[in-house]
Amino acid sequence: MYFILKAVISGLLIAAASSLAKRYPGLGALVASLPLVSVLGMVWLWRDRPDAANMAAHAGATFWYVLPSLPMFLLIPALLRHGVGFGMSLAAGCALTVGLYVLMTWLGPRFGLQL
């Protein structure tokens, strides 16, 4: 039941952001850009395992994994503005993000990051 509650609350936030974006793209983007998933993830994690060291490691790693996801939000609109279809633009953005995640996972520990 707890898993279903987490899924419903999380899903409602995503649905609200996408519904809001239909009418107000900027406001929808603002809501989507809020770290709601991260905050909810931390709330659920803390409820399941209230361990300060684990939470600190999780929050720190989240910061470093957000960075490689940001270029996707520049690539997708650039491709769309140049006539590339949505599906291809989204796929390219996701592929870029995956590649940058792999790079971060490989490079991070070499610079002392605990990911």
The pLDDT value given to residue 14:
83
For the whole model, what pTM was predicted?
0.76
The pLDDT value given to residue 37:
80
Contact present, 80 and 72 (Cβ < 8 Å): no
Would you put residue 44 in left (φ > 0), alpha (ψ -120 to 50) or beta? alpha
The pLDDT value given to residue 95:
98
Q: With cut-offs at 50, 70 and 90, classify the pLDDT of residue 13.
A: confident
How far lies 38's CA from each of 8, 58, 79, in Å?
A: 16, 10, 28
Q: Which of 9-18, 19-28, 42-51, 63-72 has the lowest mean pLDDT?
A: 9-18
